[in-house]
Amino acid sequence: MTGRKPANEAPIPNRIAELRERAGLTRAELAELVEVNPQTIGYLERGEYNPSLVLAFRLAGVFGRTVEEVFVRERSE
């Protein structure tokens, strides 16, 4: 489940970094919990990679949140 999104695909805003920090997890620890490379967590947090649906559900499960609470359609400004 590693790899980067195609260049023409817009990033999906997310709260992964915020939720990870609140949970007291490092990128490596979160990566282990969701079975990806720690680099993938960095890509996700920076908006350089969109997760698969399976990974999105794994991340939401780790944080005890819904997918919609972790990933948002649009950022409020």
Domain ranges of the chain: 16-68
**What average pLDDT does the chain have?**
89
Identify the pLDDT of residue 7. Answer: 46
- Is the CATH code 1.25.60.10 the one for domain 16-68? no
**pLDDT per residue as tens digits for the range 17-70:** 999 999 999 999 999 999 999 999 999 999 999 999 999 999 999 999 999 999
Q: Which residues contact 2 (CB under 8 A, 6 or more apart)?
A: 36, 37, 39, 40
Q: pLDDT of 21-35, one tens digit each?
A: 999 999 999 999 999
pLDDT at 76 over 70: no
Assess contact for 38 and 27: CB atoms under 8 A: yes
pTM of the full structure: 0.83
Which amino acid, residue 61? G
